[in-house]
A and B are shown apart, each in its own frame.
Chain A
Amino acid sequence: MTTIDATARPTGFLRDTASVFVRESRPLVRDPFSVIFSLVQPLVFLGLFGPLLIGASGGDAAGTLQWFVPGILVMVALFGTASTGANLLFEMQTGSHERTLVAPLSRSALLVGRALKEVVPLVIQGTIVVLVAVPFGFSLDVPGLVAGLAVLAVFGIGFGALSYTLALACRNRDWMFWMVHQTLLFPLMILSGMLLPLEDGPAWMQVAAAINPLSYIVGAERALLAGDFGAPAVIGGVIAAAVTCAIGVVVGVRAMKRAR
């Protein structure tokens, strides 16, 4: 048998990040159905909550969808990336995370590569949600959608990184991961004005929404998907996404460097 050359060579952060990203993305490519499957929840909201909202608003379906669909997109980004840490948690328990820690990979790349992967399902799912809403009267603005998905992608990288951080902190305590996940997720969702407008809520709720970065992202998505690039809400959303991303990556990289 001829000997096949196989030697480890030094790599840099970018190469390592690409290696981790490719590994994390492969199951999505191999089994694209899993991406569609996790769309069930947002589509249920769209299909069952949407009509109620249209009825309650007394307005026309198209106008209500124009308001509601951007919220569903943010929901896709929020739910998809919030639970992604569970994958890492599982890999920490089985031993495949340990394998990557013994490999000569940069610790930062282990986190960043994983977080970047979040963009892939997010963009696919967001596009599907919008396309589903179009026959029901949602008017599609393509540049707006591209910009909206870009803002969501930046947010998703950061929120995914925070989910990985939570997993690294919880180690083998699954219950803790899911408790924090559940405790934070629904308040974040409701206090963002994603499903129902908060303008009619009590003052404390409006204060809570004002400090919730997600409200700014929802606002920006509503403006961007309507093609209104100049709206002040866009700047707020871009800043909120960028800040989430920066905090998530910094905190996540720190946690990964300490990981054992």
Chain B
Amino acid sequence: MARKTAGMTNQMISAQGLTKTFPAKGKVVEAVRSVDLEVGAGELVAFLGPNGAGKSTTLRMLTTLLPPTSGDAIVAGSDIRRDPAGVRRRIGYVGQGSSGGHTQRVRDELHAQGSFYGMGRRETRARAAELIESLELGQVAGRQVQSLSGGQKRRLDIALGLIHRPELLFLDEPSTGLDPHSRANLWEHIVDLRRETGTTIFLTTHYLDEADQLAERVMVMDHGQVIADDTAWALKESLAGDRVSLTFETAADAAAAAARIGGAASGQVVTVTAPGGDRALPRYIRSLGDAGLDVTAATHRQPTLDDVFLALTGRTLREEAAHAEASAEPALA
């Protein structure tokens, strides 16, 4: 599980034993349980897990919003306990909410943000103009934040997080609540940012496809612990494997086939997990055909991160999402 990192010199995040407990209804809830993590400069890491897994709480500790109950972390070169101001100066943070004040104008908020980070007036104005252009906020720069669409608000949030050119950008559920078009657009901006500046990006998401397509590295969190950490490809290869399903004329054929190849029969359909399923499929059809079991239909499906989560926890993230809509993480209460 533990991922080897490329030496300790160029680390953006280095955390050991991060733990956060909250008192709740007379009990102690362990939101985050001894998390270790290492993120190198330039990485794009997706922190994946169901609601309440502890993703946001971990992020809030790394961004100095919440002091850890125990454990330590060095973020962008500064210690989160001893030098929170140093961490704050070097990181950008885009939280779950909308970070522009509702009665503020878009450009005014960017100017205020620059002054919050100790930037000079001319520098702030130039940087704000640059961000307004690159995040396509020109049409709304003079408007109040409350009049913006969801996608525009999110782009403003990103612009605010980038005003001081942070080396490390934290994004907490950046695309939650956006329509598919705005999500795609937001992702284009994030990918561009990374390509142009090499900014390290650490984001949480419960969208599987998002983690799968965009992050090179996926950390899976569940019940306050990191339970897997690797590239999406390696996780799928090692934990889930390809799914091959074969359909037969009769249920009896299916049962016989399942016994031969070690799959599970359900009615006329047999499913089997096999590494390199695309190469295994013709072999199955040939060998089963030789044994007199004719395959009438066959499909091969590559595993998803949901399959990985299922293999790790016995639950699927999609079910979790449906259950957990109402129960927010304790840190946000």
Contacts and interface: CB of A to CB of B under 8 A. Distances in A.
Given A6-B127, A94-B102, A103-B113, A260 B66 contact: yes
A5 interface: yes
Contacts of B66: 260
Nearest to A28: B103
A30 B108 contact: yes
B95 interface: yes
Given A4-B123, A6-B165, A104 B118 contact: yes
Interface stretch (A15-23, A67-75, A214-222): A15-23
- Contact size range, A: 35 or more
B112 interface: yes
Contacts of A26: 104-105, 108, 112
A4 B89 contact: no
Interface string A7-19: 1111100011011
A31 B105 CA distance: 11
A5 B93 CA distance: 20
B115 interface: yes
A182 interface: no
Contacts, number: 112
A7 B160 contact: no
B99 interface: yes
Nearest to B103: A27
Contact of B98 (A7, A8, A95): A95
Interface string B108-138: 1100111111110001101100100000000
B97 interface: yes
Contacts of B93: 99, 102
Contact of B100 (A31, A90, A96, A101): A96
B130 A11 contact: no
Contacts of B194: none
A105 interface: yes
B112 A104 contact: no
B99 to A, nearest CB: 4
Interface residues of B, number: 45
A162 B166 CA distance: 35
Contacts of A6: 114, 119, 123-124, 126-127, 163-165
A9 B96 contact: no
Contacts of A99: 93, 95, 99, 113, 160
Contacts of A22: 112, 115
B65 A10 contact: no
A93 interface: yes
Given A98-B65, A99-B160, A8 B99 contact: no
Q: Could you say which of A8, A16, A105 has the most chain B C-beta atoms within 10 Å of its C-beta?
A: A8
B63 interface: yes
Contacts of B81: none
B97 A11 contact: no
A91 interface: yes
Contact of B88 (A5, A7, A23, A104): A104
Contacts of A7: 119, 164-165
A30 B142 CA distance: 10
A100 interface: yes
A84 B116 CA distance: 22
A100 B123 contact: no
A8 B66 CA distance: 22
Contacts of B96: 95
B5 to A, nearest CB: 26
Contacts of A8: 89-90, 117-119, 164, 166
Contacts of A260: 60, 65-66, 331
A105 B119 CA distance: 12
The 9 closest A-B pairs by CB, nearest first: A95-B97, A9-B118, A99-B99, A23-B112, A8-B117, A8-B89, A104-B88, A19-B115, A103-B116
Interface of A: 1, 4-11, 15-16, 18-19, 22-23, 26-27, 30-31, 90-91, 93-96, 98-105, 172, 260
Given A103-B117, A104-B88, 16 more contacts: A5-B123, A6-B163, A8-B117, A23-B112, A26-B112, A27-B101, A90-B102, A91-B101, A95-B95, A96-B100, A98-B97, A99-B160, A102-B63, A102-B65, A102-B91, A104-B116
Interface of B: 60, 63-66, 85, 88-91, 93, 95-105, 108-109, 112-119, 123-124, 126-127, 130, 157, 160, 163-166, 331, 333
15 contacts: A1-B130, A8-B89, A10-B118, A16-B116, A19-B116, A23-B112, A26-B108, A90-B102, A98-B97, A99-B95, A100-B116, A102-B64, A102-B95, A104-B85, A260-B331
